Amino acid sequence: MKYSFIIFTSILFLFVSSCTKEVREISRPGEYSDVIFQYSTKVDLMNGEFEGNLTQAAMLEKGDFGIGTFNGVDGEMVIYQGTVYRVSFEGPVLPASEELLIPFVMVKKFMEDKSVEVNYTVSADSLKKDLLRILEEKDELVAIRIHGNFSRVKARSVPKQTPPYPSIAAVVELQSVFDFENVTGDIIGFWLPEKFDNINFPGFHFHFLGDNKDIGGHALDFELTEGVISFDFSSKLEISLIE
C-alpha cells in the first residue's frame, strides 16, 4: 500500500552575510507550489531498498529541480530545469532514459526566494560554514542552486547493483571519483535540519552538473571562484513511500 504525508515548517527569512551581496528578492506567483516532494526515505535507502516504481513523468509533475538515483542505484540523478540527467558510474552524463524507474528522489518546483552574489574564492567547507551561520538555527527546508565558476569539483557516481542488494554504505565504497578543474556549472541540492534525520540526510546534500551537461555527479568537494547562490525556501515536505 502506498502512503504519503506532509511535514509543515515555517517560512524562512535569510539575512545575507557581509561576504556576499544581495542580488534580488522576488514574490511568489499565486499558483506556485512550495512543496518539496520526496520518494522513499533515508532508512529504506540505507536498508537496501533500491527498487521503486516511481516514473520520471510522475516525478516531474512534482518538480523540475532535484537529486536522486535510479533503480539499483544506477548512477547519480540530477534534475535541472525539468530534464532528468543520469551520471553513470563510468562518467558520461546523458538525459536519463524515460523507462528508468526511481527508488529515491527529492524534487521541487524551483523558484528562488532570494539570491546572493559570491565574488570571492571559497572552498565548499568554508561556504557551508557561512551558510550554516544562517541556517543552523532554523528548522526549515531549503532548495539551493549555486551557479558559477569552479576552480575544482570532486564528484562521484556509483555502479548499478543487482539483488540481493548490499547496504548503501557498501555501494559507496565502490564509487568512481571524478576530478574536474576550471569548470562552469551548477551545484544543485538541499539543506535539511537535524529533525529530518531518518527521513532524509540532514545537512547539505549537493550534486553537480556542468554547463554543457556532460560532467557531473554527487558533489564531494568543490572550490567556487565566483557565482550566484539561489535559495528556494520551503514550508512543506511531502513524502511518498515505496509500495
**What is the reported pLDDT for 114?**
86
Strands (E), the chain: 4-8, 20-25, 35-39, 65-69, 76-80, 83-87, 93-95, 104-108, 114-118, 122-123, 141-157, 176-192, 203-210, 216-234, 236-240
Residue 144's nearest CA partner among 193, 104, 191, 81 is 191
**What is the reported pLDDT for 139?**
73
**CATH code 3.30.530.20 for 4-25+33-240:** no
Nearby residues of 18 by Cβ (< 8 Å), 6 or more positions away: none
**What is the reported pLDDT for 138?**
66
What pTM did the predictor assign?
0.89
**What is the reported pLDDT for 21?**
42
Burial class for 219, CB neighbours closer than 10 Å (0-12, 13-18, 19+)? buried
Return the C-alpha cell found at 221. Answer: 568537494
Return the C-alpha cell found at 193. Answer: 535540519
Residues 116-147 pLDDT 10s? 899 999 999 999 998 887 666 667 899 999 99
**What is the reported pLDDT for 198?**
87
**What is the reported pLDDT for 6?**
58
Q: Please report, for the chain, the start and end positions of each structural domain, with discontinuous segments joined by +.
A: 4-25+33-240
**What is the reported pLDDT for 235?**
83
Residues of the chain falling short of pLDDT 70: 1-33, 134-138
Element (H, E) at 214: none
Name the one residue in this structure whose C-alpha cell is 526549515.
140
Query: What is the rounded CA–CA span in Å between residue 141 and residue 144?
Result: 10
